[in-house]
Structure 1
Amino acid sequence: MPLLLTAVLVSAPAHSQGRSTTAVTAPPAVEDIEAPYDGPLARFAEIIGALSYLRPLCGARDESWRTDMQSILDADTAREPARRARMTAAFNRGYRAFAAVHTACTPAALAMEVRYRAEAATLVAEITSRFGN
């Protein structure tokens, strides 16, 4: 919110100057080209979606999974709406798949959480080692 307020104040003409300025517009979207790491990133998004459902179901109070995924989307797909939509769809697919099957925390749900956390860690290591700066 402070960033938006700053942008509005900077783009507004000064009252005493009496001149107008052009409106600040967002940069245009760039062509949506699949990045070489989109496959693993989509799988990661799907896992994070599943964990976002499973962790609270099994009593975890930490909801940072969803926030962390949103940060990744904001950083990596800010001007690529089609890529952003694909990653969001993967997240939602993971969430909904587990919501359709698990209505209570069961040993199977706990086992999947452990497996998915391990797979997520592997994907993060793979993506950052192969494609990171």
Structure 2
Amino acid sequence: MKKLNWLFLLLFSFAFISCEDDDDVDLDTTAPVVQIMSPTANATFAPGDQIQLRAEVTDNIGLEMIRVLVTDASGTERVVDDEDVRDFLNDNREADLDFMINLDQNAQPGAYQITVEATDEQGNTGERTVNVNVAM
């Protein structure tokens, strides 16, 4: 009987030891990194032109969403691309953007801003802006 009590005590002890919480969770505080390759800063375009946007976005853990915004000469901001990142090949850590932004035929001349904004799985946000000009 004493052996049986010791056996239960031993099994009970192992149950508590195996349930110990030693998993340290590291919080991700690093924002995604955005690099814009095209267009170059202060490039000039005409109304009706297409602007090729090429950018790379990376994150140390995983990207969640990428938005592209254009702010015109009057300060009006519009979203031209808004997408969730779903790339199983690189664990959502990288995204390449390559698409055309169409300027309106009646686009006002002046300074425009193109912003690429990326949010990672923890809600950290990184962005990069390039200034371009629209001239008649």
TM-score norm. by structure 2 comes to 0.22
Return the structure number with greater strand share. 2
Larger Rg: 2
TM-score norm. by structure 1 comes to 0.22
